[in-house]
Amino acid sequence: MENQTLVKEICPTKTQLWINNGALLVDVREKEEVAQLAYNVPNIVNIPLTEFEERFAEIPRDREVVVVCKSGVRSLRAAAFLINNGYDQVVNMKHGIIRWVQKGFPTIGDASSVLINGNSHSCSCSGC
């Protein structure tokens, strides 16, 4: 999980485009985190990072995959792991569910925990 330079990153806005085109979201947060606040999108699977190396084969290799988490750090590690294991249609979503909520994208659960610092944000991704 060390070679993270190979991972392409996209912002939540671009992630919406990928979702609309049928991409699979892989949420690597722990089950308790997902139970509190989840992405409300079709085609999502939760494989916690703590189980990722044992379960990553559940992710189809022939499909576009966006790996997500709370802030984008754990998902970056998981995306790099997938790429290093032969997946070639994988991207990481920068800034995780924190930015997702700030952008007003659909969630299930209590978003207040990720909005503690308010709604202001900066994003270098075009379209954010």
Which residues are catalytic, by number? 69
- What's the DSSP call for residue 123? -
Give which of 13, 20, 38 is closest to 127, Cα–Cα.
Answer: 13
Of 97, 98, 94, 90, nearest to 123 by C-alpha is: 94
- Sign for the CA dihedral angle at 128, 119, 122, 93 comes to negative
The residues, any chain, with a CB within 8 Å of residue 19's CB and separated by 6 or more, are: 25, 41, 42, 43, 66
